[in-house]
Amino acid sequence: MKTGLVTGGTRGIGAAIATALRDAGYRVAVNYAGNDEAAARFAEETGIAAYKWSIADYDACAEGVAKIEADLGPVDVLVNNAGITRDVMFHKMTVEDWRAVVDVNLNGVFNMTHQVFAGMRSRRFGRIVNISSINGQKGQMGQANYSAAKAGEIGFTKALAQEGARFNVTVNAICPGYIATDMVMAVPEAVREKIIAQIPVGRLGEASEIARSVLFLVSDEAGFMTGSTLTVNGGQYFV
């Protein structure tokens, strides 16, 4: 039985990924940073243990992953899913808005992957999936911080894929489009309607549709797929 760890795993896309992994027979742990109530509800409903720390904090990541590995065994699958937004036009963006998003969405990917990569390498198996975004591919007004961090994840994916390949450690990115989660629901309704009008399939995506893509990428059968960016956006943007 393999062990999977999903960051930001108690809500939205992360929760869908965690439960899909559990249903596919993985031992699963999730990390979360802030919402204790949602985490308690998630843990009760799914039986998946939720561990609290901020992925923006390197030492907290080292401690958190060590605890999970003591509880469940070495991490075979890491899904870097946790992410935040601080949407604001650039001329009004503060340095705090910039740093908060880059610290979680990009530095968090380093902080987490760094804890597990050497072990995966030495065990000759690993699957790392980075949940980037359509807005890392196309850019998005109001998201200079988020788009930069999400594009950074794609570069990180391509570089690390080259390092992991010889050791059967694959590193891939998924770029979800607009998915029906709390994050997208926080976009002002009038703006959200405009966005949905730009999606050829005519609706927001479901978190489960991203989870299914993750299941494929982490499977043993996907060993020849690494460094890729899987685009799952309802046709909103073609790369």
The residues carrying an active-site annotation are 146
Which tokens belong to 202?
């005519």
Beta strands across the sheet bearing 77-80: 49-52, 27-32, 3-6, 77-80, 126-131, 169-176, 229-232
Establish how many alpha carbons lie within 13 A of residue 58's alpha carbon, considering only the half-sphere containing its beta carbon: 5
Task: Categorise residue 235: left if φ over 0, alpha if ψ from -120 to 50, beta otherwise.
Answer: left
Contact pick of 46, 130, 135, 170 for ligand CAA (by CB under 6 A): 135
Please report how close the Cβ of residue 9 comes to ligand CAA at its closest, in angstroms. 17
Select 14 or 164, whichever has its Cβ closest to ligand CAA: 14
Contact pick of 106, 116, 134, 169 for ligand CAA (by CB under 6 A): 134
SS3 189: helix
Which amino acid, one-letter code, is at 196?
I
Residues of span 160-179 touching ligand CAA by CB under 6 A: 178
Query: Which residue stretch of 19-27, 56-64, 139-147, 199-207 sits at the interface with ligand CAA (rule: CB under 6 A)?
Result: 139-147
Strands of 33-154 (E only): list them: 49-52, 77-80, 126-131
Binding mask 26-65 for ligand CAA (x = CB under 6 A): ----------------------------------------
Contact pick of 113, 143, 213, 236 for ligand CAA (by CB under 6 A): 143
Task: Report how far apart, in Å, the C-alpha atoms of 143 and of each of 39, 85, 154, 226, 228 are.
Answer: 27, 8, 16, 28, 23
Contact pick of 19, 31, 46, 85 for ligand CAA (by CB under 6 A): 85
Contact pick of 38, 49, 88, 232 for ligand CAA (by CB under 6 A): 88
C-alpha span between 42 and 10 (Å, rounded)? 6
Please report how close the Cβ of residue 210 comes to ligand CAA at its closest, in angstroms. 11
* Chain residues that interact with ligand CAA, rule: CB under 6 A: 85, 87-89, 133-135, 140-143, 146, 178, 183-184, 187-188, 191, 194-195
